[in-house]
Amino acid sequence: MTAHLPKVELHLHLEGAAPPTFIRGLAQEKSINLDGIFDEAGHYSYRDFNDFLRVYEAATSVLTTPEDYARLTSAVLEQCAANDVIYAETFLSPDFCGGRDLGAWREYLHAMQDAADKAEAQDGIVLRGIVTCIRHFGPEKAKETAVCAAETAGDWIVGFGIAGDEMAGAPRDFAYSFDMAREAELRLTAHAGEWGGAASVHAAWRDLRVERIGHGVHAIQDPKLVDDLAAAGVVLEVCPGSNVALGVAKSWADHPIDKFRSAGVKVTVSTDDPPFFHTSMRHEYDRLADTFGWGDEIFREIAKTSAEAAFCDAETRAALLTKLETP
């Protein structure tokens, strides 16, 4: 029954969560040829990380209008609800939703929020957005993204983060954008320590002053950093299935999530880009239970940690914690 426990997911890329059937159908409607990105079973197909990026870009290229994003939001939340997720935070990029134009971004945002409201009314799942700048697009474009975030901060847009090529530039290059988001009272997270080493995690934490780290798995290389993260209460948004699929971790048994937890680091469990990695929240729970012997008590603890680390308002958090405590 572990896989059927209520769950909270904090690290989910909206475009990356697009079901293959949804993308294929949208491509057909628009007469867009997506040959070469699906296997015979209809799943996304790629050879390595670079090929994954190619397939990801091709798949998401069909998403071009606010209505597309509204439909995408509905499709993604349907999958989340089917996996007993009661609350999710998703990364949204104005770069892909109106080219960082504030007026266009507002239109995309309205469409996504409307779809999320309908899903909440129908399935009880709550969604919130984290505006995310793209690291390899550079600091200047990140500032434009931060303006979009600051101008739409509120009950639904609750956070600001950075994703993209971890090897491009340094976290400190984006400090201005994070300061802007902080002044707008947005909560902060950063992808780090997925492809970069422990120093990448330390730099993101130190220079961007974030309270959560996306992935962060290579922090395990530095025992002092692990101790410091635990002492500071920094939360890791861990995506084990993604890490194994992309070779960040050699196998589930080699994944450091259990070591982090044993060291007192606050860990959460998410899927990242679930259909690309043939995973789901139920699958993550099943594999973690099989690999590390985790039982219901540990998964309930992780869900509670996730709810406490969520960027939502206090009222929403209290409702989540009540749901998680209900047998």
- Summarised one tens digit per residue, pLDDT across range 137-168 is 999 999 999 999 999 999 999 999 999 888 89
- CATH 3.20.20.140 in the chain, residues? 2-17+70-325
Q: 231-249: per-residue pLDDT in tens?
A: 999 999 999 999 999 999 9
Please give the CATH number for the structural domain made up of 2-17+70-325. Answer: 3.20.20.140
Q: How confident is the model at residue 50 (pLDDT cuts 50, 70, 90)?
A: confident
Q: Is the pLDDT of residue 327 over 70?
A: no
DSSP lists the bridge partners of residue 266 as 235
How high is the pLDDT of residue 34?
Answer: 94
| Per-position DSSP letters for 88-130, written without gaps between them | EEEEE-TTTSSTT-HHHHHHHHHHHHHHHHHHHHHH--EEEEE
**Where would I find the H helices in the chain?**
20-29, 49-60, 66-82, 102-123, 139-152, 175-183, 198-208, 223-232, 240-245, 257-262, 281-292, 296-309, 314-325
Please tell me the pTM assigned to this model: 0.96
CA–CA gap between residue 153 and residue 186 (Å, rounded): 7
12: DSSP letter: E
Report the interhelical angle of 198-208 vs 223-232 (nearest 10°). 30
Q: Which residue has the tokens 């954008």?
A: 177
Q: 166-182: per-residue pLDDT in tens?
A: 889 999 999 999 999 99
Average predicted confidence (pLDDT) for the chain:
96
Mean pLDDT, rounded, for 110-128:
98
How high is the pLDDT of residue 106?
Answer: 98
Q: 85-118: per-residue pLDDT in tens?
A: 999 999 999 999 999 999 999 999 999 999 999 9
Q: Are 105 and 97 in contact (CB under 8 A)?
A: yes
> Which residues are tagged catalytic?
194
How high is the pLDDT of residue 165?
Answer: 86
How high is the pLDDT of residue 62?
Answer: 96
